[in-house]
Amino acid sequence: QKEVEQNSGPLSVPEGAIASLNCTYSDRVSQSFFWYRQYSGKSPELIMSIYSNGDKEDGRFTAQLNKASQYVSLLIRDSQPSDSATYLCAVKLGGADGLTFGKGTHLIIQP
Amino acid sequence: KAGVTQTPRYLIKTRGQQVTLSCSPISGHRSVSWYQQTPGQGLQFLFEYFSETQRNKGNFPGRFSGRQFSNSRSEMNVSTLELGDSALYLCASSLTRGSYNEQFFGPGTRLTVL
C-alpha cells in the first residue's frame, strides 16, 4: 500500500537549536512533496514545497529531498517556541489521487 | 488576497441526517480538493474538482459526494450520517491541477455526529 510515514514524536528541541523532521514515502515515481504546519485546533498551513533532489531554503526553513532514498526532511533553524506544532509531510504519490499525508510529527520547542 | 473560506465552521447533526458543506477557493484558483481529518486516520483525500468536474476520488463510500460551480466554489454532501463521520472537513484550493500545484487549506468545518 502506498503510504507516507513520519515519526509521531513528540520531538522536543531547545529554543535556538535546529529541529529536524523526517518523512519517508513508498513510491519511487512520486514527483511533488510538501510540508505543512498545523497548530492545535487550526487547519494545515503550507510551509514548503519541493520537487527536485537537493535542498530548498526559505528563511529559517530548509526542505531536503532524496528521491533515490525516498526521503524528504524539513530543517528549522533557530527554533522558536512559536514553531511548536504538528508538521505534516504530504506527497503526491505516483498514480494516487490527491495528496497522501503522513500522520504528522508533534514538535515542541522548549524555551 | 483572501484565503479559502469554508462554511459553516461548526456543525452538529444526528445519525441518519445529511449535511452540506461549502468552500470558496482563493480568487483565481480553479481546483478544489476535499479532505477528512480524524485523530485516528489523519488527513485523507476525499475528492478533487476542476472545471465543474470530479477529477479524482479517494476511498470513501458513495455517501460522500460533491460538486463544483462555474465560479469554482464547491460543496460536499454527506448523506445518511454515521458516528464515524465526525471529523474536521478541509477544503484546499490550488491554481490548477497537476502534481506541482500547491494546495492551500481553508479553516475547515468541524462536524459532530451524535
Cα separation, A14 vs A25, in Å, equals 28
So what's the pLDDT on residue A28? 78
- For the cut 70, the answer to whether the pLDDT of residue A1 exceeds it is no
- For the cut 90, the answer to whether the pLDDT of residue B65 exceeds it is yes
Work out the mean pLDDT of chain A and round it to a whole number. Answer: 94
**Grid coordinates in use for A104?**
504528522
Least confident of A46-55, B4-13, B74-83, B89-98: B89-98
Q: Which of B33, B58, B106 sits opposite A43 (nearest CB)?
A: B106
So what's the pLDDT on residue A5? 96
So what's the pLDDT on residue B99? 75
Cα separation, A4 vs B40, in Å, equals 15
So what's the pLDDT on residue A2? 63
Residues of B in contact with A49 (CB under 8 A): 102
Tell whether B97 is within 8 A of chain A (Cβ): no
Cα separation, B86 vs B13, in Å, equals 9
Tell whether B57 is within 8 A of chain A (Cβ): yes
- Test A44 with B106 for CB contact under 8 angstroms: no
Tell whether B60 is within 8 A of chain A (Cβ): no
Cβ proximity of A100 and A4 under 8 Å = yes
So what's the pLDDT on residue A27? 83
Cα separation, A111 vs A22, in Å, equals 23
CA distances from A15 to A22, A64, A74, B104 (A): 19, 22, 17, 28
So what's the pLDDT on residue B107? 98
Band of the pLDDT at B69, cuts 50, 70, 90?
Answer: very high
User: For the residues A76-83, what does the mean pLDDT come to?
Assistant: 98
Work out the mean pLDDT of chain B and round it to a whole number. Answer: 95
So what's the pLDDT on residue A95? 67
- For the cut 90, the answer to whether the pLDDT of residue B37 exceeds it is yes
> Using one digit for the tens of pLDDT, what is the confidence trace for B38-53?
999 999 999 999 999 9
Helical spans, DSSP H, in chain B: none
So what's the pLDDT on residue A33? 96
> Using one digit for the tens of pLDDT, what is the confidence trace for A48-59?
999 999 999 999
User: For the residues B60-67, what does the mean pLDDT come to?
Assistant: 97
User: For the residues B90-104, what does the mean pLDDT come to?
Assistant: 90
So what's the pLDDT on residue A31? 85
- Test A101 with B43 for CB contact under 8 angstroms: yes
